[in-house]
Chain A
Amino acid sequence: MTLVYVEHQDGRPDDASLQAIALVREITGGAPLHALLAGPGAEDAAAGLGAHGVATAHIAEHEALASHAPVALARCIGELIERLSPAAVAAAGSERGNEVLAHAAALGDLPLAANCVAAEAGDPLTVTRIRWGGSLLEDARLHGPVKLLTVAPHTVEAAEVGAGPATLERFTPSLADADLVVRVVETVEQSSEGGVNLADARFVVSCGRGAGSPEGFAPAEELAALLGGAVGCSRAVTIAGWRSHTDQVGQTGTKIAPEVYLACGISGATQHMAGCKGAKRIIAVNVDPEAPIIANADYAVIGDLHEVIPAITAELRKAGAG
């Protein structure tokens, strides 16, 4: 059998976890698929997993699991590994999926392949995983008595297979105090100040070094406001101190997935592009027709962003937008 750690929210499994299930189904060769869920809403979230091919959903019940506790969750995985001897254990390649599986890997001294996009059954397991935030692929052999892997989000499609509901099995993991030292003790809700969240925005306009100064972002702010979008930037901008890091798009910043990404005065380094792969359409504005971003964008305007952005805003106003 194979085990998938399923993250969930508001009583529904996360898409990234369903995608992990879809990839793992490819390598189980018909062996039963089990899931592990913990925390508030776990039973509700487990209800729909049967449709994705999960035969049994294990619900870890422990008051300490009410808030995120990665070591405790890894202990739950460890218990199920002992009890069920799975061939593989997988999770979403989300922040927490990667974290929990790394703890499980450390506890069991097992190899872990993070952020896989494909896997081929066998022992060792052959996997393809991403590097450089998705700019590079690695084919690798995953060894170990239990194969631990996470699945990079948005690289595999979740799919229902029309099976019946999963059997629920509740268990109480045995947790020591030491397993609960790392645990969320407080959650601070941040108001987005009426602004649009960069990660969720349907329109993002970013400026890079080409903006020239913090003030150089004013036209981008105006355009974003007009379309209900968000303003982003490149790392050249954040390390210059022109914008906060929360605005940075890229491998070490925010990953965005808008309908349109307007990237102005940005050269198109692989680490920047790693953050905007999810964009449906990329329009580059650059003075340099040879800039690498031109070879990675759908559309380009060759010109100075200080002239082009205000012209777009004016054109939209003329068309009656905003």
Chain B
Amino acid sequence: MNILVCAKRVPMTGGTIVLTEDEQSIQTRHLGFTISPHEECGVEEAVRLIEANGGESVVLALGPSEAEEQLRDAMALGVDRAILLETADEVDGQATAAAIVAAIEAERAAGVEFDLIFFGNESADSGNYQVGIRVAHALGRPCVTGVKGITVQDGRARCEQETASGRDVYDVPLPAVITVKEGLNLPRYPSVPGRLRAKRKPLAASAPERRDAGVEKLRLRLPPGQGKQAEILGHGPEAAPAVVEVLRRAGLVT
């Protein structure tokens, strides 16, 4: 079984987001980077499935050359090799999907067929909610979204989605595309030997073709109502009566 996981490098923004002067991106000079929790779960699931069934796991990121860091992180958790689609600027959902489809077709031409392709349900930063679905249609494969439970058996994937009242179950034939959410599993921490091995694992970088944006970003801005200052109710346990007063005013205590 072969599995591809697509993951995106995003900044760990902490408590406040600061924008660059041109309002095109987040000021990341002092920030660390990560892959989104959804995709971390995708990486973990891929590694577990390959451990159980044999085969190869591959991680793919579209982004700046620095995304190598996130690809190495994924390989430190057990993914076998990596594909980097290098783009200097952010690209929209359609262009991202097109670039990933081209990479998958190149793999197919080289004899690699992926039985499963994992995406995060939505990327942490741009949140376009569409890349996995577009890739699935381009490849003519089924796509289940927002998945928090996967069982692979007899060439099929049983996928579970969480709903307000329980779980919805899908049962699709492989090959398939699955977009996953955090909570699918509890990802492992990378080990030191894992990190060392990751340094030597293969990483293939290429630059995808550019295309015009269908959703053309003009500028980013912070939502209104930032930075209110809390009213200090008190220090330590002595503040309890003031907290209860807030609860009373909210109608939670009679």
Contacts and interface: CB of A to CB of B under 8 A. Distances in A.
11 contacts: A105-B134, A106-B136, A106-B137, A114-B122, A182-B142, A239-B187, A270-B13, A292-B14, A300-B232, A307-B237, A321-B254
Given A135-B223, A138-B217, A114 B13 contact: no
A213 interface: no
A139 B220 CA distance: 6
Contacts, number: 279
B186 interface: yes
Q: Which of B220, B227, B239, B244 has the most CB of A within 10 A?
A: B239
Interface of B: 13-17, 26, 36-38, 92-94, 97, 122, 124-130, 133-134, 136-138, 142-146, 160-173, 181-183, 186-187, 212-223, 227-244, 246-247, 250-254
Interface of A is mostly: mixed
Contact of B253 (A93, A190, A321): A321
Contacts of B162: 246
A269 B247 contact: no
Contacts of B97: 106
Q: Which of B161, B230, B242, B252 has the most CB of A within 10 A?
A: B230
B218 A98 contact: no
A140 B134 contact: no
A112 B230 contact: no
For the complex of A and B, 4 pairs with smallest distance between CB atoms: A111-B214, A292-B15, A311-B237, A245-B183
Interface residues of A, number: 101
A176 interface: no
Contact of B134 (A102, A268, A283, A293): A102
A144 B215 CA distance: 9
A182 B186 contact: no
Nearest to A191: B166
A141 B229 contact: no
